[in-house]
Amino acid sequence: MAYNSQDLANVSAGDLVQSRQSVYHYYNSAGDSVATIIGAGYVTDAIQRGLKVGDVVWVWNVGGTNSAVEILTVSSLQVAQRPAGTGSATLGKNVSIS
C-alpha cells in the first residue's frame, strides 16, 4: 500500500476560518493505516501540490474495513535537492486550526 496522488484534493485554498491554512481531503483508497500515513514523507508530491506546514488534511479511510475519518496536519516538509520544487510532507495528529 502507498500514497496515491490522485486521492488528494485541495478543498479550501487558504481560507479556513480566514486563516492561511488550506484544507485537503485524502481518500485513502489504498487502506493504509494511520501509522503508515503519519510516517515520514508519506505525501510524496507535497511541495508540487502546494501543501504547507499547518495545513489540515482530512483522511477518509475508504479502502480498508474501517470507514473512520482522521484529521491530521502537515507537520513538516522535506525539500528534495533535485529536481527543484519537489519534496514530500509528513502528517501528524497535532491538529491546530488558527
Q: Is residue 39 part of a domain?
A: yes
- The domain of 64 spans 5-92
Q: Is residue 11 part of a domain?
A: yes
Q: Is residue 98 part of a domain?
A: no
DSSP 7: G
Q: Is residue 23 part of a domain?
A: yes
Q: Is residue 71 part of a domain?
A: yes
Bigger pLDDT: 66 or 9?
9
Summarised one tens digit per residue, pLDDT across range 8-53 is: 999 986 554 556 788 999 998 888 888 899 999 999 999 999 999 9
At residue 19, the pLDDT reads 60
Query: Which range has the top average pLDDT, 18-22, 53-57, 59-63?
Result: 53-57
Q: How many domains does the chain have?
A: 1
Q: Is residue 64 part of a domain?
A: yes
Q: Is residue 17 part of a domain?
A: yes
- Residue 66's pLDDT band (boundaries 50, 70, 90)? low
Q: Which residues contact 62 (CB under 8 A, 6 or more apart)?
A: 27, 28, 29
Q: Which amino acid is at 86?
A: T
Q: Is residue 26 part of a domain?
A: yes
Q: Which amino acid is at 88?
A: S
